[in-house]
Each structure stands twice: as structure tokens, then as C-alpha cells.
Chain A
Amino acid sequence: MQAEIINNIKFGIFSPEQIKKLSVAKLTVPDTYNEDGYPIDGGLLDQRLGVIDPGLVCKTCGGRNKNCPGHFGHIELVRPAIHSEFGKIINMLLQATCQKCHRILLNNDQIASFKSEIDAELTTESGAKENSADSHSEAALLKKVKSIKKCPHCEAVQEKLKYSMPTYFYMGERRLKPDEIRDMLMKISDSDLLLLGIDPRTSRPEGLILDTLLVPPVGVRPSITLETGERSEDDLTHKLVDIMRINQRLEQNINAGAPQIIIDDLWELLQYHVTTYFNNETSGIPPARHRSGRALKTIAQRLKGKEGRFRYNLSGKRVNYSARTVISVDPFIDIDEVGIPRSIAEKMTVPFYVTEWNFEAAKALLERTEYPVVVNVIMPDGKRKRILETNKEDLVKELKAGYILERQLQDGDITLFNRQPSLHRISIMAHRARIMGGKTFRINYCSTTPYNADFDGDEMNLHIPQTLEAQAEARYLMLVAEQIFSPKNGDAVITNGEDGVVGFHLLTQDDALLTKDEVAYLLGIAGVREMPKEAKGGMYRGKDVFSLLLPKGLNYELTTKKEHFVIKNGQLIEGTVTKAIFGQGNTMFVKIVSDFGFEALRKFLSNASRVADACATFYGVSIGVKDYLTSEEVTRQKEKLIADTDTKVHDLIISYKNGKLEPLLGYTLRQSLERMITAELDMARESAGNMLASHTDKKNSAMLMSISGKGNIVQFAQMSMFLGQQAPMSGGRIKRGYYTKRVVPHVEPKSILPRARGFVTSNFSAGLTPVEMMMHAIGARSSVIHKGLLTPKSGYLQRRLANAMQDYCVYSDGSVRDVSNNIIQTVYGGDGVEPTRVRFAKTELGEGD
């Protein structure tokens, strides 16, 4: 059956007649199953409402559990109840209309002006009433109407109407009964309703006073059979049983001519049950509870919130053709590949659409007995058959164009790979499948950055696009190579980082020479079948080896304060590889793409990641305590630096106390002192880093990492020199205490000396003193707390942003509009340039534009 495509959805209020027309059964018995365990006729699980037991047949449509969607029933209430959720709307209607003639409480002039406003709305582009919440001007109307004491039409004096949540209405002192309210609502004319913004064709308000209650099909509220064989009913069924019981009692009492008080009490109870049936969290009334004391989950609760129908089942859906497992590294596969365990590949399928042109291939595929085999065959009528030894031959004979074969996943298939949280679009990218052993997904470490993945136990999801359209989109728009430049700022995010940079850094040293065997080993890994030109003594220069990986004929130059890097005609002439060349936001990739295209960059990165890794292993980068021990000279200098800093701070404090300190602009004297001290301490840490850098051998592994870009000098200095100033997240130096104003009791009260306020002069290899350890812990703890507090905030922010702007897209004229065709920007970003391509725009316009 071809499903209809929904064009629009209209909301409205059912009238009792509509409910009866929709209903297949009037329910009268407030019970579910009889003693035999069969649904009672006229009970809440009446078989006319659909069936949930696999053995039974729906009495309305004859369908079974799987193909009968269920049908609505209804309950007739002996006394009407108010739909509590609409209390505010009912109140608005009662307030806005005359109590006698039920016309709107506006005189004819006002009506005319109001009408023209609505007409203006009606003639908007869409041709229909704009639905946005702010177009309901009823709030303004209500305000206007509240002061009117006399009906402008019949001159009747209006009594004071009071509404008390959720279902109580008073006229003067007298309580209005639901049936009275219904009569009042019924008398409001269609034209007046239109004035109030209500569409009378679908939303006549008297439907809000319920005397017929629509009962959802059993499929909506299935009963569960427990292991003990006991049946457990859905919360909604419980609630409906309650309503029916009270309804029955009320009926009996009315028929028996019981006193009005008793009837009113029961009526009240009926109203309570109806109210809680719609929303069990209605304010002002106690929630209905299950026998166990748990509050019942009724209609509103099912829809609401993160776990509600909307966000849990409708905005996000469960999917087939997906897999999930732990990820691990494989530097030998390409950046746009994903290693998939054989066990997963055997279970997942890709459709093979049989046509008359690929018929022979399809047949051959179907006849296969070894991986990859066809798992299912889908007939043109949509029936799916599993292939077994027994039916295979028949199916081969039967096979013709129009059939779809579901074959096992194999190398080269396009897949979508995702890691949660999916914070940006590059959290899902297309990878080419590569089937291998093991039980984990494998990815090249260059591609971890966009996923923010590491290999400490992270799991990722894999999806197989099933239609040719989806596969084509994935292949041409979502492939990793297309995503190298981030939409956030156009920086290259997929790069060779960490060990890769260190490896190339070593390889491209000026004095790096390799033997023929070594060169063959390294280039062999990349699949390069070419030797670089020989340097002196039968050796080969590392730079020449690196050059062979580059696209042929690349010209690139980078000159910064620290480095000078020149590639001419595909040859690395000068400079060593560091993070600036290879890391995030580098410009070399831009050059490669603009001269050779994305495929060249993909190839280069894939090869480079393999070789770089091999280089790091080949040279060996290992770290020991020795790397972090400083020479006596450096130790002496460090101590002098700390002593100097102490003196400088001391001097500052003295001059502050003598009143000789010049305050900084805009700061008080005390604040200036604090800032000067902080600046002094920061400077000390910085010069410690410089000191360490200038006195450490370049071959020192720790130093090597700082230079090439795996980590930076700060971390090295923290281990070899001193930690420097510790700070809480609130900024400034650590502060604590009321009277004594000291962080720990080991220092003078009110001391503002460096060490008393979190300046740590020990390093991690020597170890911290207890006081220093405390200071360090204060800083660390404060940041952990902050992280915990800000994470949910940032998540909510992103949800709001996405929801607010998700409909915006670029139109053919280059403008940005939302779905209602409101123009947000006349030209996207002011110039229509795509953020991932800004770097390219620069080269097109010429540097410096």
C-alpha cells in the first residue's frame, strides 16, 4: 500500500457528533478481560478497537495485530465534563462575550477595525491565516473587553466572571456548571469566533465541554502480560476504567433520584478523573496514582519533554541497517576508510537493484556460496524472502529485473560513520568500508578530530545508506575528503597530528640521512614505487623522502617568526615539518586542494599518515624521567628567577605600603598592586619556559615534542621548571577566608605574597610541597566544577540555536530565508561566500584582499 504524502495538518476540536461518527464502539463496561482471559465486549479492550493478542482478529476490519492500526471507541458521560487543558480558552471566550446575547463585547466600530486587521492577515502570501503565536491578538482583546461592564449590543449588565484553575468558573458568587458553560459557548456566533481568531469550521468551542469521550485504540494502550501470567494494564486504560466507574455510579444515582449533593459530588469526581486523564500534572489538583503510589502517566505526560512522544519518537527515530562497536586506530587505512569487522559485515546488507543490464551480475551474486552472499531477496511486491539452501535455486530461476538483492557489506561500500554527541555536521561523515578481522571499527587517526574521538573505549555508530540516491549523496557530499575544511571557520580539521608531526619533524631535519633500505621501507608503506635522488655517500636525505609524498609540482611557502618552510616544484627545499605546517588551520592543505583537488589531498594525507607513523616508530620517540631533569645551570637560573620574582613582588608591596605605587588607569591602588603582582608572576612563568627552551638539547624527547607540536612548552616547563600561578575559574589569584584572608593556615594572615596565594615554585618531576599541592588542587577542582555546571548550559544553548535557525536556507537568488519566506539576509554573509571555502576565496582574489 502506497502511503499518502501529508501536505498539511489541520488542528481542531471534535464535536460529539464527530466523535460518534469516528467511534466504532460505545463502551459501557468499566472492565477489561473476562475470567477466560478474553476481552469483554463493550469493555475497554473491546475487540472492535483492534487487537493486541497475536491470535485474535479485529472485529472491525478483520486485520490481525500487525496490519490493523486499531480503531477509536467512545464513552458517553451522563454529565458533561470540562476539558481542563482548555480552561484558559473557555475563560477567554466567556469573558469576551455577552452573558445574555452572547455577542462579542465590542461595538460595531471596533468590530469593523478588528475585521480589517484579520482581513489583512488573510491576504498574506500564503493565502491562509498566519499561525505564528504572536498573531493571536486575543490577549489584547481580552484586556480591552475586561473593562466593559455593559454589552454594547443588548445593553445587558455584565456580571463578574471568575476563573479558577483548572475547571472552576464562577459568575458572581454562583458556580457555573459545565452544561451551563456549554450552552453559553454554543450561542457564540461563527462570525464572532472568527473575530477571536478561532476557525469555527473546525474548532467550535462547545466541543470543549465533553459529554462524549473519545477512547483511543488498544494499540495505543497495550496491556502487558507479566511472567507470572498476570495482566498489567496501561496507565491510560486504568484512567479510563476510573472514568467509566464513576460515570456508571453517577448514572445509577441520578436514576435512583439521589439528593443533589451526592450527584454534585460524583459529578465533581468525574471531572477530576477526566482532568487527570488528559494531564496528570495539572496544577491545583492531586495527581491520580497507581496502587503502588506511582503517579499515572496520562496523555500530556506521554507527549511532553525529552522522553515524550515528540522528542523521543518523532524528532528522533530508531533505524535499521546500523551497527555500533568500540573504535580503535589503524594508521594503515586511508583517512576516508573505516575498518569493519567481518562479523558485522556479514550481518549488514546493501541493496543490489536488479535491472536488465546488470542481470548476469545479479545472478552470479545470488549464486555465491561464500562471503559476500545475498542474504535476502525483495520481490517487486515488497515481500522479503530470506535465502536458504532450500529456496536458493528457485530464486535464481525466478530472478528478474525489478528484484532487489540484499547482499553482505563488502569493501568499497559507502557507509555513514557517527560519534555522539553529534555536535556539528562533521560528526557524521561518509567512509568507504574496509572489511577486516577483529571486533572493533578501525579509523585513521587523522579523522578523529571532527568526531572528537579517542580510543579509550569510545564507541561509534555505522549506518548503511540503502537507496542509490542516499548512497550518491553520501559519496559526493559527505565523504571525509570533502570535510577536511571545517564549516566553522574554514580551517583544516582533518590533519596529521601528534605522533605524525613528530615523525615528519624528525624525517625532515636538515641532517636526516637514511640508507636505501630505510627509504624503501618508509616509501613502501606509502606505496610509492620511486626512489628519491641520492645524496652524498649513497645515503638519501629525509627531506627528499618527504617530498615524494607531496603532489607532484606543488609550490608552497610559509614564513613566520619561527619557521621558514619552502616547497618548490614538489621538493621540500627548506624547513622542517611542525604543527604550523601540518596542524589544524594550516595553509598547505588549501594550496594542495586549490592546485590539485580534494582527491590529491586525500591521497597525500592517507600516505602521509602511514609514513609519519612509521617515521616516529623508526626514529623512536621515547620519554624518560631523564628528559625532564634539568642541568645544574638551568636549576640555578630557575632559582634565581624565582628569587628575583620574590624580590620584585616584595618591592611592589613595599611601594604600595609607602603609597609610592602609581595606580594603573581605571584601577584602584589595591587592584593595581594585584594586577602588577599577577603580571610579574606570569612573566616569571614565561621566562622559565624560554629559559628551558634555550638550554635544552633539541634532541631531548620532551623538547622535541614541544617544538614539533605534540604538546607545547608550557607542559614541559610544568614538569621541569615550576608550575607557576594556580588560579580558580573565577579568575585572579586564589582567595579565601573572611577575617584572616589566607588560603591555608601555613601562611601569615592576610598575606598577599606569591606563595601564599597559589604561586607554585616546584615542578612535577621534583614534586609539590603539601601547601603547593593544595593550591594546585583548588585550581583543578574549580575547573571540574565549572565544567559540570556549564556542559548542560552549552547543550541547551545549541538545541535552542538549532531549533531557531534550522529552517534557514540559501535560495536561488543567494538570499537566506526561512520557510515562511521571510528574508533573513539578502546575500548570505554579506558576500555569499561559503565558510569552508573562505581560504580559497582569498587565493582567488589574490593575497591581501
Chain B
Amino acid sequence: MAKKIDISTKVQQGEPVGVIAAQSIGEPGTQMILKTFHFAGIAATITTSGLPRIVELLDAKKIPTTPFSSIYLMDEAKKDFVKADQIAKKINEVRVNDISRRILENFSNGKIRIVLDKQALEAVDLTPSQVAARISKAYELDAAATPEGNVEISTHTKVLKDIRSISVKLMHALVSGVAGAGKAVVTQSKTTGEFYIESAGSNIELMLPIDGIDKAKIYTNDVFEMYKVLGIEAARNVLAKELKETFDGQGININERHVLLVADAMTSRGHIESIGRHGLVGSKESVFARAAFEETVKHLINAAAFGETDFMRGVTENILVGKQIPLGTGVVKLAVKKQDVEKKSKK
């Protein structure tokens, strides 16, 4: 048996971890595309996420293209579909549009009638009177259920324009659920068999107070919302998790350290910054680093006008002037200089 060779697993001082992370994340970007080309024609390997999602996350886009949240449930509800479904109904976003066939305006008596879709109404567990109550409460309108199961709103005005504007507003009026939550459905976990709720939108601020949900486990893929509601640490975790999962979904294995570094970089100042000229690169200390990236002239002009100084501490600046970069083996310096030794020996 050969003697065990000691291989250090620790990062060494000066390791340019930023560049390595950037390359590790950027390089598979091209791979993602090239690989799907090789497998052209097989349905299972083609996905719609991938690069666009990565770009969206790193751009720190305010609203994700496909918002999504998972709401986990407390003890009882997670084992009982009926209870879970009740909570889901509280979250499920229902607007007048979703449950009505048409909206009729009667301009002569100033009344608006919402002709309800009975089936749709049943599906979301609502009655016409509930709809009417909700509308009258939220919009301060005079709404009432009619005997034939519709809702009628008295506008108390005969001005055409007002009636129309009310009816337009009514179309999108929230009848039940959480605004922005989208369609919420009870799902069963494949691993634990427990029920939880998935919703095609997210508004965790309003979801959190709902009884029966596990507040500690609520999750949304909307990084900004996470930041707003649960703070920057939560946002950082979501960012890292979303990035990692997007790569995993493409069958690309990236060490989580790289993803974490990106997430940390984007959140280290206490708010979310994008990777780009309006975010991290744009707020760099060095004039040259900014000028060499984008908007060259703008940065140089501002530097001149305000009398900025470039201290040559970063990578780009030093490459520009032909100096050694302060990374890797470049961070190592001599503690004693040759001249000093010579001086001493002379003495």
C-alpha cells in the first residue's frame, strides 16, 4: 500500500475565485446550446428554461417571467387533501373574468350585470352572494346576487363613461384568493407523500398570514419579493438555489461554491445588484475597469469632470497599463527588497 499523499483541499490565498466562478457559470452557457443541438429531435431533452432563466436571474429582473411559489402546510393539512385544498382555495386567485360568462351594462338604469359561469363558480367553491359581497366590500359598490344566480351592481350613475369604467374595473376585480398568487393547486410530494400547494404566481407577503401554512418553508422563485418580504439573506439563498436548479435542470453539474459566490456578489451590499453596467460592473471603483466594459466615453468624461482617480487596484486597470495583476501569484510580494539587502550588507 502506497503512502497516502497529502492533497490540500483548501483554497489558496490569492486564488481568483471570481474569475473561476464566472467562467464556470459562463462556459456551460454555450454548452447548453451546443448539447441540445446534438440531441436534436428528442422531446425529453429539450426544455424552455435554461439560459434565458440564468440571464433573467443575473440581470436581477424585477419580476420573473414565470413567477412560481410553493406553499408548504402545517401538520394536519399536509396529510389531508381536503384541508390542504381549503387552504389552496384561500390562495387561488379568482377574478371576475374567471367566473363570468359576460358582463352586461344597462346604461338606462345604471346597472351592471355579471352573468356568472356556474361551473367555474363551483370549481372555486363560491356562491353568487359571496361574489356580490366581495365586490361590494372591496370596491364600495352596491352589488347583490340575483335570484337566477347572477350578480347585479347598481352604479347610481347614468353617465355612460362612468358605467363603462366601472365595468372594465369589474372585469379584473378580485373575487377570492391572494392577488398575484395565480392559480394555486394542491400537489403531492413524490418523496414524502405530503400535500403542499403550488401556485403559478407569487405574493408571499399576503400568503404568510394565512392559517395552516408552514411559514418557515414558504418559497417563491421571485428574488425581489423574497428580498422585500424576508430580507436580503433569504433573497441570496433563493438566488443561489434558483441558479443551481436551473443548471441541474439542464443536466449541468456546477459546484455550488461558484453559484454561491455569484449570489453573494449580487447581494453583498444589502440590496440586489445585477451583473452588468447598471449593477456590479457599473459601480466599480476603477474608471478604467468601467470604461473597458461598456459606455467607455461616458465614464471617461465623468472621470475628467469630477477629477476622479484610478488607483490601479483591480485587474482590468493593471492589464491596460501593462502591470502585473493583483491576483493569484500576483498578490505575492517580497517582504525584503533586493536593494534593502544590498544596503544592509554594505553597512
Contact = CB atoms under 8 A, between A and B. Distances in A.
Interface stretch (A482-490, A514-522, A532-540): A482-490
B307 A128 contact: no
B206 interface: no
Contacts of A791: 30, 33
B307 A11 contact: yes
Contact of B305 (A13, A473, A840): A13
Contacts of A226: none
A678 interface: yes
B323 A6 contact: yes
A834 B15 contact: yes
A767 interface: no
Interface in B2-38: 2, 4-5, 7-30, 32-34, 36-37
Interface string B185-219: 11110000000001000000000000000000000
A779 B5 contact: no
Given A300-B297, A822-B268, A794 B30 contact: yes
A303 B22 contact: no
B314 A819 contact: yes
B261 interface: yes
A9 B310 contact: yes
A804 B44 contact: no
Residue of A11, A552, A678, A802 most packed against chain B (CB within 10 A): A11
A786 B36 contact: yes
A423 B5 contact: no
Contact of A807 (B13, B24, B310, B314): B314
B41 A727 contact: yes
A13 B304 CA distance: 6
A724 B41 CA distance: 9
A310 B291 contact: yes
Contact of B296 (A130, A305, A473, A477): A305
Nearest to A202: B307
A551 B22 contact: no
A204 to B, nearest CB: 9
A834 B307 contact: no
Contact of A424 (B23, B257, B287): B23
Interface size classification for chain A: 35 or more
Contacts of A729: 36, 46, 48
A802 B296 contact: no
Contacts of B173: none
Contacts of B255: 488-490, 835, 838
B160 interface: no
B313 A820 contact: yes
Contacts of A205: 305
A194 B262 CA distance: 36
A487 B32 CA distance: 18
Interface string A589-625: 0000111110000000000000000000000000000
A134 B283 contact: yes
B301 A85 contact: yes
A751 interface: no
B138 to A, nearest CB: 27
A727 B43 contact: yes
Contacts, number: 369
B43 A198 contact: no
Contacts of A818: 18, 314
Interface in A167-202: 197-202
Contact of B304 (A203, A310, A597, A830): A203
Contacts of A199: 306-308
B198 A666 contact: yes
B304 A805 contact: no
A6 B317 CA distance: 10
B166 interface: no
Contacts of A800: 58, 275-276, 281
A67 interface: no
Contacts of B20: 425, 487, 835
B254 interface: yes
Interface in A16-31: none
B41 A780 contact: yes
A710 to B, nearest CB: 14
Contacts of B25: 798, 801
B145 interface: no
A833 B11 contact: yes
A288 B186 CA distance: 66
A120 to B, nearest CB: 17
A809 B18 contact: yes
Contacts of B125: none
Nearest to A839: B9
Contacts of A732: 43
Interface string A302-323: 0111001011001100000000
A141 B309 CA distance: 22
B51 A790 contact: yes
Nearest to A812: B13
B287 A11 contact: yes
Contacts of A85: 297, 301
Given A11-B307, A797-B55, A809-B14, A835 B257 contact: yes
A491 B253 contact: yes
B233 interface: no
Nearest to A584: B253
B193 to A, nearest CB: 14
Contacts of B48: 729-731
A666 B199 CA distance: 9
Contact of A783 (B1, B36, B183): B36
B312 interface: yes
B66 interface: no
B42 A804 contact: no
Contacts of B15: 809-810, 828, 834
Contact of A794 (B29, B292, B320): B29
Residue of A202, A490, A795, A829 most packed against chain B (CB within 10 A): A829
Given A488-B24, A731-B48, A834-B12, A133 B314 contact: no
Given A487-B20, A809-B17, A596 B5 contact: yes
Contact of A820 (B285, B287, B308): B285
A714 interface: yes
A390 interface: no
A72 to B, nearest CB: 16
Interface stretch (B128-136, B324-332, B339-347): B324-332
A810 B13 contact: yes
Contact of A682 (B24, B43, B269, B285): B43
B5 A8 contact: no
Nearest to B318: A6
A726 interface: yes
Contacts of A784: 37, 40
Contacts of A402: none
A5 interface: yes
24 contacts: A8-B312, A9-B310, A126-B311, A133-B290, A203-B306, A315-B316, A487-B20, A487-B23, A488-B27, A488-B253, A594-B7, A731-B48, A790-B32, A797-B55, A798-B22, A802-B22, A804-B280, A805-B262, A808-B265, A809-B331, A816-B261, A819-B326, A835-B258, A837-B9
The 7 closest A-B pairs by CB, nearest first: A798-B26, A808-B18, A199-B307, A805-B18, A829-B257, A794-B29, A727-B43
Interface of B: 1-2, 4-5, 7-30, 32-34, 36-37, 40-44, 46-48, 51, 54-55, 58, 183, 185-188, 198, 253-258, 260-262, 264-265, 268-269, 275-276, 279-293, 296-297, 299-316, 319-321, 323, 326-329, 331
Interface of A: 5-13, 85-86, 89, 126, 128-134, 136, 197-203, 205, 208, 279, 300, 303-305, 308, 310-311, 314-315, 421, 423-425, 473, 477, 487-491, 551-553, 555, 585, 593-597, 665-666, 678, 681-682, 685, 714, 723-733, 776, 779-780, 783-784, 786-787, 790-791, 793-795, 797-798, 800-812, 814, 816, 818-820, 822-825, 828-830, 832-835, 837-838, 840-841, 844
Given A279-B297, A800-B275, 6 more contacts: A8-B309, A13-B305, A133-B299, A202-B307, A807-B315, A820-B313
